[in-house]
Structure formats: C-alpha cells, structure tokens
Amino acid sequence: MRPDENEERIAVFVDYENLAIGARQDLGIARFDFGPIARAMAERGRVVYRRAYADWSGFDDDRRHLTRHQVELMEIPQRMGTSRKNSADIKMVVDALELAFERDFVTTIVICTGDSDFTPLVQKLRELDRRVIGIGVRNSTSKLLPPACDEFLYYDSLEGVEAVIAASKAPKRKAPTGGRSSVEPDDEPMAEAPPLEELVVSTLAGMQGSTEDVRASTLKRAITRIDPTFNEADHGFRGFTELLRHLAGRKRVELSGEKRDPEVDLVTGDGPAQVGFDLLVDVVTAKSKKGGAVLSGLKTEMNRRDETFNERALGYGGFLQFCKAAAARDLVVMAWDDDRGDYLLTPAG
C-alpha cells in the first residue's frame, strides 16, 4: 500500500530518564514500556524517526525492549563536573531543532517528557510550523508544558498502560533452581496479535481521538503500522472493505459514503457496548449489597458471567476507560476510595 501524502510523518524524541523515573515512582512500573507510545503514534501517522536519550548504564534492562521498537539509543555519559540531565536535555534539543530545519517532510514532532525545561523547544518547533505532541506521566509533568503543545497525552491514559501497571503489581514467579532457564532474561516473548475485531475497533477508536473522519484506506494503513504482518486475506476476506462490511453486520462498526473507500465509525446507540454496560451495571448492583464494587477484580467477575466480554473490542483502551464511560452515562457512580486505594463503583440513582 502506497503511503498517503496527507498522512502525518512523525519524529519521536524521548527524555528517557524523565519518563522511566516518573513511571516507576508514580505508576509503580519497574521497567518503562514504550509500546503504548508506539501504538498511539501509529494511530496518528507514519513514525519515521525514534530516539531516546539517557545514560544507559543505569537502564541496562531497557535497551533490548527499546530496540525491539526500533528506537535509536542516544548515549549521554556522565562526565566529571557536568550534569547528566543537562547533557541529555541539550543533546535532545539540538537534534530536534536540526531535524526541524533539515527534514521538511516531518510534519509532527513528539516530545516525550514532563520537564518544563523543554517548553522553549516546543514553542520554537511550533514557530517552525511543526505540530508538537507532548507525552508525560501525569503526576510528574510540569503544568507549564501541556499548554505549550498542540496536543498533550498523559502516558497513564494511553492504551496498554493499564495492563503494564497490572503486570508490575502481579507477584513474580520464582525462577527454577538447579538449571539454566531455556529463555534468557532479555529474550522477551513476542506479544500475540490481538483478535481481529479488537484490532480494528481499538485502532478506529484511537484514530477518532485525533482526527475527524476515518476512511477505510486510512484505517488499514494505521492497522498495518501497528501490526505490519496484518493481512485480511489471512482471516478469509478478499479485501479490507469486505472485512469492514462483516464487522458492520456484527454491529462493531458503521459504514457510510462511497462503497470503494467508505467512512468508518464506531457503533452508536444500542449495540455491543450497551450489552457491556448492562453487564457492568448488573455486577456492580450485585456487589453493592456487599459493600460496593472495587475496580480491581471487577473485570474478572464480568468475565465469569460472560467470557466474551472485552472492552477493547468495544473501542475502549482499557477497563478503567470503559468504567469511566459508564459513569459519564450515569449508569454507575465511580469515586476514589482512599481507604481501599482503588475506585469504588456503586449503582446510579
């Protein structure tokens, strides 16, 4: 498939120490996961440049993970009498400005940091007619940085981060003793591709958050950026539009406009999402008789009642977002409980 001349061409710069430390302290993530950022950018356009800046001697376990996402690691060694942080900041600023001046085809520059020291860089990049997206951990992001950007995404809210946090909190299994493991610590298993419906619907939902209209052709380009091996023929469809018509028949998406390249939208009104909301209300109502429904463990109970429930197949980035959507529709009441350290859901009304 030929690149779309109108699609965004994106360059990503990562202040790795800022993000990794923020994620560790505020989210409890042992190792920062670049995957959610990669997916969010793939939904917005074609990423042509990825660089992360740090003194990598302090992040040995992170190197292989980043290279799997095609991130170029920029080494910023600490020298006597210099600040490691300032060295990384200066190098990142110089590289971003150099790219803005020399790479006219780059339309969007992503600055991944919560440090307000990068605010002048953001302002200068916008003066150079570049769209700037910022990404940072919510509690460690300066209040000065988001207003300077064209768009700012909190890492905590990106699709996939919820699962990373849950995995970090899960108890670790002890490695077997007395022999060498067949899998080296650095050899992470490849992530399984999401089910077909989930891949299409969740990608569509992410694209609708950053653009107005989504055509079938642009949706397929976004999907292949997320999973370059994707081919609708592997699932028994002669073309991508045929796949979309199949999903429309299952009330997963809605199609409108021209037949060859229809506009694609999420299903509104009654449909699979409403079935999911009804299930949530039933479970919350049942648990409220025993003191209320705590968010953690709530999805497990829903899957016990309906093993097919999957919020991602309904277009939601995670279970927390799904519950917030239910609260916004006044289906449940959702509030933070300090004593439990979690959200507590109760029936509305």
pLDDT tens-place string over residues 31-62: 889 999 998 999 888 999 999 999 888 888 88
| For residues 73-83, average pLDDT | 68
pLDDT band at 174 (very low <50, low <70, confident <90, very high): low
The vertex-237 CA angle with 226 and 222, nearest 5°, equals 20
Residue 181: pLDDT over 60 = no
If we measure between CA atoms, which residue out of 152, 159, 259 comes closest to residue 204?
159
CB 247 within 8 A of CB 200: yes
pLDDT band at 192 (very low <50, low <70, confident <90, very high): low
Residue 184: pLDDT over 60 = no
The domains of the chain, with CATH numbers, are 8-169 (3.40.50.1010), 214-266 (no CATH), 272-347 (3.30.420)
Q: Which residue has the higher pLDDT, 2 or 164?
A: 164
Name 96's Cβ contacts closer than 8 Å, sequence gap at least 6. 11, 13, 109, 111, 121, 125
Mean per-residue pLDDT of the chain? 83
Q: In the prediction, which pLDDT does 206 show? A: 80
pLDDT band at 15 (very low <50, low <70, confident <90, very high): very high
pLDDT band at 309 (very low <50, low <70, confident <90, very high): confident
Percent of the chain with pLDDT over 90: 31
Percent of the chain with pLDDT over 70: 85
| For residues 181-203, average pLDDT | 64
